[in-house]
Amino acid sequence: MIGYLLEIAQAALALALAPLLVGFVRWVKARLQNRRGAPPWQPYFELGKLFGKEVVISNNASWLFRFAPYLVFGSTVLVAFLVPLIVAPLPFDPAGDLLAVIYLLLLGTFCLALAGLDPGTAFGGMGASREMTVAAIAEPTIALAIFGLALGAGSTNLGRIVTQTLSQPGVVISPGHLLAFAALFIVTLAETGRLPVDNPATHLELTMIHEAMILEYSGRYLALIEWAAWLKLLIFLSLLANLFLPWGIATALTPAALGLALLALVVKLAFLGTFIAVVETRVAKLRLFRVPELLGVSFVLALLAIVSSFLMR
Amino acid sequence: MPTLFAQLSTLLSSLVLLFGITLLWRRSLHAYVDAFQWQSVTLSIVFATVAYFTSNPELYVVAAIFFVLKAVIIPLYLNRLEKQVGERPESQPYVNIATSLASAGLLVVLAYLITYPVVRVSLLPTRGGLPLAMGLIFIGLFAVITRKQALTQIVSFLVLENGIALLAVLGTFGVPLIVELGVFLDVLMGFLVMQVFVYHIHGTFESIDVEQLNRLKH
């Protein structure tokens, strides 16, 4: 019983932390570029403002356009239930393994692409086609990278992978583990629309991907989509943190362990967020036609991770 | 549970392999030289690690010479050569970049399959790195035959050479110093000869695209 309550608390925590994480990344980036930047809690105000605004919908939009934000948000929140954030063997673990996580995320992407096509604007169609191009290479890479870990742990269950890694700490510096980490990091940048692939800071640029799809949205729909996108970033970063460096995560349900796990999660997320901000300050956006090459690199890394953890057992 | 030596050597070998794969992804000659330089730095760390764990002082000397030759002198010369010849990115290799990367992945799988019988009977603590070294040799060879600019081919050749050095140090824990010295001299001589060739190609065709050499037939 307490496990299920904890599970709900964990998903609520993910929802509450996601805007702060994005705000933090933006703030660090601003400081690195010698700007003062908005405070890290600015995204909360943005959400509040968007939820209060009136929704404007094109006459050509169908029910799909109104339905998509709820599905995107719902599927992302569902993923937050399946990913180990602060407790390792979750009571919901039997409900879905890494394949469920990947396909739930893909379901959101798919719906958003459909919704981008729906009002029939030029930008929406462009964004949708680009998003599908990226997703077609990124999704198998995520699957391969996490499979590399699953092979080592002997289970596709995310909670099991975490506990297995905790019981064999030496596996963390094995090449399969590191290659999978690098692959998943590149894919994280692509999937969450961060810099070398997509620029999250611009609204009107011919090469935008995510922003082009959601250009027609306003009001609470936009708020839901933005929130889901931030939650996705948090989910990917906590996957990176907890699957590859699981220390600090609570395996027992004591208040002390839970507090420590929360602290560890915040520290890991802050570290990864800073790293993303540094990467985004250092690199320029790739030309759209070079994006598949970058994703190709991460696919090869994931493939090598699998090969080395499969053949070197 | 593998020992620390085994873990470290495999880890460093995969880093060396990664720098080899970066070669296939990048375009500008500068990026090629950078990747080669970092690969050489990592490889000299491999030498030093093997020296430490097998307590073989000669290998420290090899690591030092390797570092000076391949991570300092040759990149310096390559960058100077690039300035004199004029930089031109590897715009159109024979095999495009995405396919090159996929082939690199397949080549590493192939290397794993080929070395599998050896690795299975081997008792070396470094056996985990053997397939990676073999994979690096394949990737170097692949890069040599698919790139068009003479300079990128030279860097690819040097990467291939790094692969052989990695295989040697992982497989034998260091061949005698005198042999290593001979190999280093060979590399340096080979590099200088290739440098002269680049000047000649550039002087004759005003370009270092080796496709131009086809014009010699007519």
How many Å lie between the alpha carbon of A297 and the closest alpha carbon of chain B? 6
**Which of A182, A293, A312 minimises the CB distance to B97?**
A293
> A312, exposed or middle or buried, with CB in 10 Å at 0-12, 13-18, 19+?
middle
**Which of A170, A292, A304 minimises the CB distance to B105?**
A304
The owner of tokens 């709820």 is A70
Domain boundaries, chain B: 4-217
- C-alpha span between A195 and A224 (Å, rounded): 22
Question: pLDDT digit string (tens) for B120-177?
Answer: 887 777 777 888 889 999 999 998 888 877 788 888 888 998 898 888 888 887 777 8
3-state secondary structure B149-196: EHHHHHHHHHHHHHHHHHHHHHHHCCCCHHHHHHHHHHHHHHHHHHHH
DSSP letters for B57-120 = HHHHHHHHHHIIIIIIIHHHHHHHHHHHH--------SS-HHHHHHHHHHHHHHHHHHHHHHHH
How many Å lie between the alpha carbon of A252 and the closest alpha carbon of chain B? 26
pLDDT of residue B91: 62
How many Å lie between the alpha carbon of A148 and the closest alpha carbon of chain B? 15
B-chain residues within 8 Å CB-CB of A179?
14, 18
ipTM of the complex: 0.75
Q: Give the list of residues 6+ apart from residue A207 with CB closer than 8 angstroms, or none.
A: A199, A285, A287, A288
Domain boundaries, chain A: 2-311
Question: pLDDT digit string (tens) for A200-215?
Answer: 777 666 777 888 888 8
- C-alpha span between A21 and A227 (Å, rounded): 11
- Model pTM above 0.95: no
CB contact under 8 A, A311 and B131: yes
CB contact under 8 A, B11 and A178: yes
**Which of B7, B14, B25 minimises the CB distance to A293?**
B25
Which tokens hold the place of A61? 């939009």
Of B164, B36, B208, B27, the C-alpha closest to B100 is B27
A-chain residues within 8 Å CB-CB of B112?
307-308, 311
Weakest mean pLDDT among A59-63, A134-138, B177-181, B207-211: B207-211
Asked whether B20 and B32 are in contact (CB, 8 A), the reply is: no
CB contact under 8 A, B105 and A299: yes
CB contact under 8 A, B25 and A297: yes
CB contact under 8 A, B97 and A175: no
DSSP alpha helix (H) spans, A214-254: 219-244
In this prediction, residue A7 has a pLDDT band, given cuts at 50, 70 and 90, of confident
